[in-house]
């Protein structure tokens, strides 16, 4: 799967299908799991949020930038025009997840949201509404049956839900602004801003401090950095006009 086919919402065209109805909190669903690690193989579409990277980095004891450099790929989403971070599969292991070890997840307690959710999917609206749906699987093995509420609680998803909502809202807001950056910034200035955007969303975090607090601080910092770059670009334009008038 090529990078441009995977954006912040996952693989292109891989959202909720018509045969995947939304679940209510008391809805009960069942699925089979053989514990074979099959859902971790041949995957190039595991997109990480900034919170996912933060949790992985704390688990590994590495700075976020180093975790991303070692285990991920980052690029601009074709639709969102925002930095997209996804796990980089191990080519010599048939594109398996880099954390798959002997059919087990080596970072299970800090696994990304998409992995913790499976076989559920999640949709978050701009107003913060969260809805979940069931994705049919072709797995065999032991049958598991649970209500939506119990499954979300058991996988730690309900606990982290407010942070995932804030991340989604932040990305949706920035996505609305992205066309303006690309239209107004000179390519060199735009690249600088995109680098700062990566820092704000993924890298500029201390693992000793709460993630959400730092995200809000980073968004304020990003607005300040954007203002500085706008002033820089204005100064360059003024200097160029002065040179041309001589």
As a residue count, the chain comes to 246
Residue ranges of domains in the chain: 3-13+23-162, 164-245
The string of pLDDT tens digits covering residues 2-57 is 555 788 876 555 567 777 889 999 999 998 888 888 888 888 889 999 999 999 99
**Reported pTM:** 0.91
- The CA-based angle 149-151-153, given to 5 degrees, is 70
H helix or E strand, kind and range, residue 116: helix 113-117
Torsion of CA 130, 135, 140, 146, to 10 degrees: 30
CA atoms within 13 A on the CB side of 59: 16
Provide the pairing of β-strand 47-48 with 83-87.
Answer: antiparallel
What does 151-177 look like in DSSP terms, one character per residue?
Answer: HHHHTTHHHHHHHHHHHHHHHHHHHHH
Query: Tokens for 174?
Result: 């920035």
Q: What is the pLDDT of residues 113-167, one digit of tens each?
A: 999 999 999 999 999 999 999 987 778 888 889 999 999 999 999 999 999 999 9
């Amino acid at each position: 799967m090529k990078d441009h086919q995977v954006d912040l919402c996952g693989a292109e065209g891989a959202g909720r299908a018509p045969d995947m109805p939304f679940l209510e909190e008391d809805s009960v669903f069942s699925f089979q799991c053989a514990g074979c690690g099959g859902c971790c193989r041949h995957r190039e579409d595991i997109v990480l949020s900034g919170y996912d990277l933060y949790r992985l980095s704390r688990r590994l004891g590495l700075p976020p930038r180093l975790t991303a450099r070692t285990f991920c790929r980052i690029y601009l989403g074709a639709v969102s025009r925002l930095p997209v971070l996804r796990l980089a599969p191990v080519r010599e292991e048939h594109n398996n997840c880099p954390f798959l070890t002997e059919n087990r997840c080596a970072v299970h307690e800090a696994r990304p949201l998409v992995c913790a959710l499976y076989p559920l999917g999640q949709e978050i609206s701009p107003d913060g509404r969260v809805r979940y749906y069931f994705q049919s699987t072709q797995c065999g093995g032991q049958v598991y049956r649970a209500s939506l509420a119990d499954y979300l609680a058991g996988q730690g998803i309900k606990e982290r839900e407010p942070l995932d909502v804030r991340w989604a809202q932040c990305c949706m807001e920035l996505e609305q602004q992205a066309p303006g950056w690309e239209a107004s910034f000179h390519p060199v200035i735009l690249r600088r801003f995109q680098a700062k955007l990566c820092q704000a969303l993924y890298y500029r975090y201390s693992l000793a401090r709460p993630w959400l607090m730092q995200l809000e601080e980073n968004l304020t910092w990003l607005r300040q950095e954007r203002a500085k770059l706008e002033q820089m670009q204005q100064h360059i334009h003024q200097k160029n006009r002065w040179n041309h008038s001589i």
